Amino acid sequence: MSVTTAGAAARKHAEPKSSNKIQGGLLDPNMLWKSLPSALRKLDPRTMWRNPVMFIVEIGAVWSTILAFLEPSWFAWLIVVWLWLTVLFANLAEAVAEGRGKAQAESLRKTKTATPARRLTGWAPGTPGREEAVAAALLQPGDIVVVEAGQVIPGDGDVVEGIASVDESAITGESAPVIRESGGDRSAVTGGTTVLSDRIVVKITQKPGESFIDRMIALVEGANRQKTPNEIALNILLASLTIIFVFAVTTLQPLAIYSKMNNPGVPDSLALNGNGITGIVMVSLLVCLIPTTIGALLSAIGIAGMDRLVQRNVLAMSGRAVEAAGDVNTLLLDKTGTITLGNRQASEFVPLTGVTPEALADAAQLSSLADETPEGRSIVVFAKQEYGLRARTPGELAHAAWIEFSATTRMSGVDVDGHRLRKGATSAVAEWVRSEGGTVPTELGDIVDGISAAGGTPLAVGEVREGKAAVLGVIHLKDVVKQGMRERFDEMRRMGIRTVMITGDNPMTAKAIADEAGVDDFLAEATPEDKMALIKKEQAGGRLVAMTGDGTNDAPALAQADVGVAMNSGTSAAKEAGNMVDLDSDPTKLIEIVEIGKQLLITRGALTTFSIANDIAKYFAIIPALFVGLFPGLDLLNVMRLHSPQSAILSAVIFNAVVIIALIPLSLRGVRYTPSSASKLLSRNLYIFGLGGIIAPFVGIKAIDLIIQLFPGM
């Protein structure tokens, strides 16, 4: 089967995208159960110290356990249990986030097999070389291997000879095969994928153990995850708040001792005695006041952000890239295939004076029958649909001489019954008409300029009939802007992101497309050097830049951009240069990537706001309960009217633990993102998560207190 036939058959019978993604709810009991051992292992202090907030909670839990053994009581043991559950829930949040990635990695690991390789020695273009069988694990960068239909590609590399249909479903989840060929921007192949047809020669580019699948496994498992700059900064803030609250709680102890000495009539309690605040209560107070909620969920939020990209078949090489996507100010987008459909289509036939539209349509269709380009096929279809011309084929005119389109002549056409027709670039057709003794009217230039100004591509149609050469008219090819792109760019604008279209078209055509699509700016007749210069100019102005690319000439710009998204179908150089790889090779995915990055930052900010805000309610629950016996005036702060000091403290500790498990789904799914300005997003966060963070604990702690009252022995 030929490559063309295989590709066509695959497209015809393509099934919906299969997926190796994890199904089920965010708190699927199966996932929770599988994550529990990992959560327990994370109790190791050597692991916990990386999270300062939860490390303090674990130290408090250990200290409370010792105190409960020394002075056992139902109150002490309940506090101990819920303190340990607080630490466990925090570890469980991270373990669930990691577990989803590990499950994805497991499906990828199944694609790794002991693949044999057919290595060629002495190979050169035109020289077959000598073949030898070796294990794929022994291949080194620079080795040349041959792969035929039905065989698995033994390692990552670039096709240096041949063309083939390749099944990449093990990596992308897409059942339809793709074409990989030498000498273009679709030459990269991935180890573990299968050649379906034909034969290719591949130059290996990766070392053993550093293949694309190996990196995918490490990334989705989170094995290589490092804290991002924003995450480190937030950790420092949380650690600083924790230290402040440690000192604050510590200073309450001498105050409590002094106050108890001056109020000897106040009876001792489980919370307060002659020695001041009891150890269990001090730990409870500290744990409830430090930002445990965000401290517990911070790591899970970062892991889930990368997981959401994986769910969309995008691999981020680091969490830093995901964060940078959320802070992007400028998007550089290729016109072809991203903003437009990529294939120009016939939209109008413009005849010259004295030529009927029907005659031009007939000549345009005939001269395009031998043109197998998408543009040529669109002319044939347009003539059939708009002018009722039946779809003729070259086979019907067996005696005709067909001239196929070539980059050299820039024309296609037909010679039949003494009638010669040519269609192609206006300059080429005009030169042909002159060479046949005809003249080119100035009207042609006016029509061509008008089409170019409208963003279209003009193609001229000429003929020689009965020895007379003439130009018949112009075909207007239009680069069709994808549906909904203007709305997407409007969203980007509301997010404060500037969009720049990059194209090789002339400035006049580029401006017309840019106006129709709704982008903010454009770079016409762009070269790799122009792209690099534009990125550096934007970055010099303090802006973060994101762009996509697939060719070797895109590699420098991808490396320079803050977010460089390489297409999986592109070259190995492009994938190495970018910090993200889109397995679907969809350039429009860049817009989704930016939205996911912003969702990550918003989720982190929202839960941080909630965490700090709900400490206020816990303050109103515990402080009055501790000191109301010593200072009756504090009863005014006991707005929740909790049953007793012990009930107030226990309710606050329980709520502190339960809210973590309740927020795990939100941290994994992310806060819903709607395009709007930074000020509106801040206002929404303050109203929903700030105000909600204050109100929710009042309701939750009171509800738990009412439940505790149902057990008189407590």
Binding-site sequence positions for ATP? 371, 375, 405-412, 423
Detail the residues annotated as belonging to a binding site for Mg(2+). Answer: 550, 554
State the amino acid at position 585 in one-letter form: S
Whose CA is closest to 533, among 492, 509, 502? 502
Neighbours of 414 (CB within 10 A): 21
Largest CA distance in the chain: 125
List, in order, residues 6 or more apart from 198 with CB less than 8 Å away.
2, 3, 148, 149, 162, 163, 164, 165
Binding residues: 371, 375, 405-412, 423, 550, 554
Instruction: State how far the Cα of 683 lies from the Cα of 657, in Å rounded to an integer.
Output: 28
Distance, in Å, from the CA atom of 473 to the CA atom of 483, rounded to the nearest integer, reads 30
Amino acid at 379: I
359, 351 in Cβ contact below 8 A? yes
Strands 545-549 and 563-567: parallel
Q: How many beta carbons lie within 10 A of that of residue 684, not counting itself? A: 16
CA distance 204 to 139: 7
With CA atoms as reference, report the closest residue to 59 among 50, 68, 48. Answer: 48
Distances (CA, A) of 152 to 137, 167, 207: 13, 9, 18
- Take residue 553 and report the two structure tokens written for it: 């000439």
Contact criterion met (CB below 8 Å) for 135 and 116: yes
> Among 615, 612, 596, 595, which Cα is nearest to 686's?
612
Q: CA 658, CA 671: separation in Å to the nearest integer?
A: 19
Residue with tokens 């959320």: 326
**Which phi and psi angles does 530 have, rounded to 5°?**
-65, -40
Residues identified as active-site: 334
